[in-house]
Structures are given as C-alpha cells and as structure tokens.
Structure 1
C-alpha cells in the first residue's frame, strides 16, 4: 500500500538483508491492502522471515544439527473501536488475503477496547547495524567446531567431571511493518549465542556451572571463554554443603542479578499495573530504589539482543529511564496503555513472532550505577554469600506483592574472601526492598538473554534472608 506522505524506513542487513526485506515488505503491504479492502478502518501487517540453526554437541559428537526457515505475516484490523488478529504462515497472496479477512471478521465481533488503534506517530530510531552478514557465510561445520572447542575448554578445567552439553544457536531475522497510517519500515537483525553446562563432583553430589556468550555472528563468539567459564563456575561449587540460616548481605552475580531484574521489568509493565499485578502500581514518582541505581529500557543499543528501530506497532524506539535517582519515573507502555493512562507510548509493544499480536514488555533492560572491582565488592560485603545460581524464580515470585523465595547455590563469603561453597539454600525477600537495599555494583557487566534481555553487573544487596540448615 503506497501513497503520498508514506514513510519508508530500513535498517541493517547489507545486500542480503535488503533483498529479503523487500520480500517481507511486499508481503506486509499486500496483507495491509487486503485488510483495508475487507473493511478495516485501520490496520497493520507485521511480516518476518527467519532463518535459524541449532547445534548440540556432547563428548564432541553431534547430537543435534538442524536448520529451519520460516516466514509469515500477522495482521491486526481495527473496526469501530474493536480489533482482531490473524496470521498467515507464508507470503502467498491468497493466504495473506485470507488472514486479512479473518482479522477483520474477528474485529467485528470483538469487544471494544479503550485506547486500541495505531500509534499517533510512527517512525524509526537511529540504530546501528543490527545484522552481521558473516553469520550467513558461516558453515554448519564451523559452528560444530566452535561447540567442540567450547566443550574441550570446559572439560579442561579442574574438578570438572562431565559436560551436560554445548548448545550453539543462531538466527537471521528480516522484519517489515506496514500500516494504514502511511508507515512502512523494515530492518534485519542477526544473533548467535552459545552456552555450556559443566559439572563438578561425583554423581549425587554434582554441582553445575554455566557459561554463555552472545554476538551478532558466530565469528564474534569466544568458545574457549564460554567453556572455561562453565568449568570454573562448576568447580567453584564443588563439595558444596548446606549452610546455616541467616539474614545478611549478599552479592548476586550477573546471572542471578539478571533473573531478579527481569522479574522487576515484568512488574514495570503498564498492562500488569492495570491488572493490579504489580507492587509498583501506586509508586509512580515515589522512591523505590537506591539513589545510586538506574534502570533503563533501551532498544537502540548496538549489542542489545532486543534492539530494533521501531516496536511492534511502528513507534520509534529509544532509551527510557524507568528508575533513576531512586524514583520510579514511568512504566513501559504500548499505544493502548499509554492512551488509557493519559501519557505517551514508550515504544514497548513487543512481538515474539508474526503469530502473535503485540503485547507490552521491556526490550533491553540496563542496570547502571557506579561500579567497583569484584574484590572491593566482596570486601564491602564482609560476611555473607556470593550467589551464583537461582532456581524456581518463575514460580517463586509473587507478582502482586513482589516477594520472592527461590532456591540458590553459591559461596560463603567470610572476611571479604570467598570461603566454602554452599548449596540447597533458599533466598527470600522482596523485590521492592531489594531495589532499595542495593549497596554497590560490580564491574562484571554482561548481557544475559536467558532471563529476558538484561545487561547488569553483580549486585551487592543488604537484608536478604538465606535459609539453609
């Protein structure tokens, strides 16, 4: 669908990305035209083509090797304050038209929803190139060798008795969005990641360690570092026992901190606030965190796993400070929640794929503040625990109150030094109290995409209840 004043944007991907972007753009515009022809008062179409690959290695043997290519278009149609959604798994014109008609038919029978509709302003943020074409040139044999190198590095670490597996995955994604408000945009993004789980100790007493790296292409990964990290983290916990219960300060390493921050991010969704499922519902403008802590949502970061020039509705992305100077400044919004709250969208309408309509969610969550070396972090802690692993977080967090009680393992800290490893602990507290009780940040910032998309260092937090024996 074209016309005077239509905005066309494209970001990233080079020649290969632009070629496939054209196919996705054409599919989106075909579906959009069909929705308008079927009677939609407003509509948008989200098209994507994804190429993915997965390699699993154990004892240097390839246990899994697979590649997949998928494409499709999701169509939203708006009629008289109502909306419907349908999708087509492919770019064939007849399938796109069928999905468009279905979306319009569903909109006619849906309930009215206040605030539903297209953004008042669509556009594209200035973002760096999100695609690395070296990924397309990398053979599966090369990816297998990367995984094998990772496993060898893990097995070479002291106390490591086995490696569960090494998993390599990558994805090349082309996206196009067109809507009846004269917006048409496209971008390409690539990602490659590898993780390894190593074990230390004998069967029945084994402790695991995890290593991870992410990049835009496999050439940007460091398989030896991933393997070493997994092995070292497992060895750190070898021989762990259940410690005495106590209430004390704790250092959450970056992996554990990311899981907690991701849980906070879910509670900062305006949709969760509307539903009464957030402890921050009545805290806008109030002090909710340590004054030294900043938490921002930023979809424009060059290395951000969730970066994109526009969100799932076509709003230009940007950096939004959610918590700064200890105060809660805003929730994350899409168009609907922003209109109902009388504010502006923060461009946080997310789509997990073309098969789903956009929902409110965070993109890249970034924790910032003055950072100190790890040794200084432990020295400041004095006596307490260094937590390296949390389990059961999804079921162990109350989204209404923010309280949590989850399994943990780590190392006892005594006199500012790592002492004996600890296991079978339960750490409990409140996420709202946790934010206020952050005492210091480490200098080991990293991306942890397995707990949402979070960039955080280790966090020193006071007042955590640790239950052991």
Structure 2
C-alpha cells in the first residue's frame, strides 16, 4: 500500500523500527424511543496509528486523517524522546498465517433495510410479555484493519458486527437485554426482545428476601462484570510485576475449583473479534490462564514481556484513544462442569449495580442486585424486590458448582450462566 510504504521510507531515516495500523470502518444504526424510531445514523471513519522505537524508547501517535501521516509520525517520534527506555527486543517478523477472516460475514453491510429488519424482529419478541418499550437500538458495522511494520510484516483483515439492545418497563419494573455477533445467523433479536419484556413484566410486585447465605445463579452479564472487575486485571503481567495482582505469587497454585478453567481462545467462532494475530502482529494461540483450577499463565504484550524478561503471549489489543497496544484478551471463556443451573432452588441475578466498585486487589465486593428472582422447580419464580450480595470475587472461583451449556458473548468474553454456592445475600433483617 502506497501510504504505508511512504511512512516506512520516512520512518527508517529517524527511527530504529516503526509500526503502522491503518483502519477503515462504516456503520449504520437506528435508535428506538418508546415504540418508534427516534434517530438513524450512518458513520464512516478512518484512523492511523504510528508507533516508533528509537534506542529502546517507544512513541505512539494517532490521527483520524491518514493523509496527515507526516505530522503523526513527527508526534510519535517526539513522544518517544520523553519515554523511559526498555530492553526492547524488536517488533515481530512476518509469519505464514491463515489470512482468512475469522470474524467476517459479507451479509452484514450498512444497509438501512437490514437494520429495520433487526428492529422489527426485536419489537416482535418484545410482545411476548406485557411491558412497554422505553428505548432500544440496532446497529451494523464493517471494518478493515491493516497492520504493518518495518520488518516486512503486512497483515490485513475485515470484520463485521451486528448488535441489538432493548430496555422495557412495566409499572416500576424494568428489563434490559442485548445481543451481538459478527455472524448474522448467530444474533437473535426475537429472543432479546422476549427476555427484556420478561424481566420487566415478571419483575413487578417483588417480595423482600431475608438476609442469609444462598446458592446464587449469576447470569452471563453478571459473571462477566465480576471477571472484569478483578479476575482479568489480576491476570495482567503488568499488574503482576508491579505488585497490583492478587495472583502475583500464585503461579502453579490452585486458585479456583477443580473443574474451573479460564481460557483465552482467539479462534472460538462465538467471539466478536477473532484473528490469527494480536494487536502487535504476534501469532496468537489458545492460552489456559487457569486450567482445572490451577493458575497456568499471565498475559503479556511485547513491551511488558521485554521489560520483565518474560515470553510474550500475543495478548496485545488496541484500546483507548491513543490506539497503543495494551494487555488484554481475545475470547476469554470460563468453563466448568455443565449442569442445569436452575434445577435446585436458589436466587437468580440478572445484573449488578456497582460491580465496578469491587476492590481489584483484594476482590472484596458488595453490590446491589438488579432483576433478581427466586428459583424453584427449574425456573425463575417470584421476583425479589431488592437486595445486595457481598463476598470476594477470588473466593467465588472456588464456589462455582457448575455452568450452563448455553453461553453468551459479551465483548471479549464468552460466558455461561454460573451457579455458585454459599453467597451472602443482604435483604431484610
């Protein structure tokens, strides 16, 4: 590509190494206000991220106008001058990787008719229970990313994503559900609408619950919030080596129940952004962070691995406004013994309010329940008016009795519904 070649020709005169990420995207969306479409929008965009390395110092700059690449390159070089040097061992060389897109469906295009079809199906599902729509949305997105570096690496891939979400109300009870996928066959607007209407309609006239210890059934949304709050940060190599990880001194030890595994699988077809390479061009692989309860690995990008003399794990992702590589995960799966999580009595929790307030170091949390129900005879029965759960996220890993077969994809997580024994629930005295 001519633009990228020009950048590298200029960069080689003033840097030791350079890396370019060029992105193009287009999306279309429609938003509901009550039962009607309130707004529709179409967006197109481009982005350029340049990273340079000079004498072990790393500089990054980005722009939404790729034609202004000269200013972007100058800014990256300037930022490198102020960076602390690391024991840099080089950007990756090109590899023979499968170039077939792993998260691309050519049926997903910025087509207004397709968005309207998703909205219509969403509203159809919402008619299942007696509740009113307050807001909702459907969107379709297409993107193309090209990653290249001065070693001759040049990878390019396309991606797609469809997403729907709906919020409903019945009396004072609300319900929300969403769904997303890169594959049009795997998104289910009807089910999304049905579940949103269920939680709104059936959540009315909730009963109080007595404070005590209960078996709790956590929805995919809820368990993902707890993973995001403490478990995922504790697996970051950067946090491990800077003393900000609960797992720092526990490599090879049992940190979860015998049947529990936490695996990053970049090739799982349920994932939203599958790819054969990470955000720095490193070939990806399946990483068992926790395997049958034993802590097996931490996550590293190149910079952190080089700084602490560790092996990179191809865990770099592109997030944040700067677009600089950061430690993350691709498709993080939590697995355990498959079971009917509703078979025995318990409390079902659809969502949490305040999960972000959990202490990421200790794992202690105390959060409010959203859309909780009592579970009897294999199904959700009476709604619960209000309540809180408290405990420790790291201890929860030891209390997981089993997981549902069905999973839900939420961002970079693929999670089941999880049954946990002996959680403290705070209700009325």
TM-score range, shorter chain: over 0.9
Q: 1:178 deviation in Å?
A: 0.9
Q: 1:405 to 1:125 in 2, by over 3 A?
A: farther
Match of 2:260 in 1: 293
Match of 2:343 in 1: 379
Match of 1:108 in 2: 81
Q: 1:445 deviation in Å?
A: 1.4
Q: 1:53 to 1:43 in 2, by over 3 A?
A: same
Q: Secondary structure at the match of 2:66?
A: coil
Residue 219 of structure 2: which of 219, 228, 253 is its match? 253
Q: Could you list the runs of 5+ residues in structure 2 that have no partner in the other structure? A: none
Match of 1:459 in 2: 418
Q: Which moved more, 1:328-337 or 1:299-308?
A: 299-308
Match of 2:66 in 1: 91
Residue 305 of structure 2: which of 335, 338, 342 is its match? 338
Match of 1:172 in 2: 142
CA distance in structure 2 between the aligned counterparts of 1:242 and 1:278, rounded to whole angstroms = 37
Q: Does 2:156 align with 1:181?
A: no
Q: 1:438 deviation in Å?
A: 0.7
Structure 1 stretches (4+) deviating beyond 6 angstroms?
none
Q: In the alignment, is the contact (CA less than 8 A) between 2:18 and 2:52 conserved in 1? A: yes
Q: 1:438 to 1:27 in 2, by over 3 A?
A: farther
TM-score by length of 1: 0.85
Residue 129 of structure 2: which of 149, 158, 171 is its match? 158
Match of 1:397 in 2: 358
Q: Secondary structure at the match of 1:133?
A: coil
CA distance in structure 1 between the aligned counterparts of 2:271 and 2:425, rounded to whole angstroms = 33
Q: In the alignment, is the contact (CA less than 8 A) between 1:287 and 1:327 conserved in 2? A: yes
Residue 71 of structure 1: which of 21, 29, 46 is its match? 46
CA distance in structure 2 between the aligned counterparts of 1:219 and 1:256, rounded to whole angstroms = 25
Q: 1:439 to 1:115 in 2, by over 3 A?
A: farther
CA distance in structure 2 between the aligned counterparts of 1:261 and 1:167, rounded to whole angstroms = 26
1:143-222 → structure 2 map (5 Å cutoff):
143-154=115-126, 156-160=127-131, 162-200=132-170, 202=171, 206-216=172-182, 218=184, 221-222=187-188
CA distance in structure 2 between the aligned counterparts of 1:444 and 1:220, rounded to whole angstroms = 13
CA distance in structure 1 between the aligned counterparts of 2:6 and 2:268, rounded to whole angstroms = 31
Match of 1:408 in 2: 369
Match of 2:247 in 1: 280
CA distance in structure 1 between the aligned counterparts of 2:150 and 2:382, rounded to whole angstroms = 62
Match of 1:134 in 2: 107
Match of 1:9 in 2: none
Q: 1:28 to 1:407 in 2, by over 3 A?
A: farther
Q: Could you list the runs of 5+ residues in structure 1 that have no partner in the other structure? A: 1-24
Q: 1:356 to 1:129 in 2, by over 3 A?
A: closer
Q: 1:122 deviation in Å?
A: 5.5
Q: Does 2:291 align with 1:315?
A: no
Q: 1:189 deviation in Å?
A: 0.7
Query: Please, what is the CA RMSD of the aligned residues?
Result: 2.2
Residue 357 of structure 1: which of 298, 316, 324 is its match? 324
Q: Does 2:7 align with 1:31?
A: yes
TM-score by length of 2: 0.92
Q: Secondary structure at the match of 2:283?
A: coil
CA distance in structure 1 between the aligned counterparts of 2:339 and 2:2, rounded to whole angstroms = 51
Q: 1:30 to 1:391 in 2, by over 3 A?
A: farther
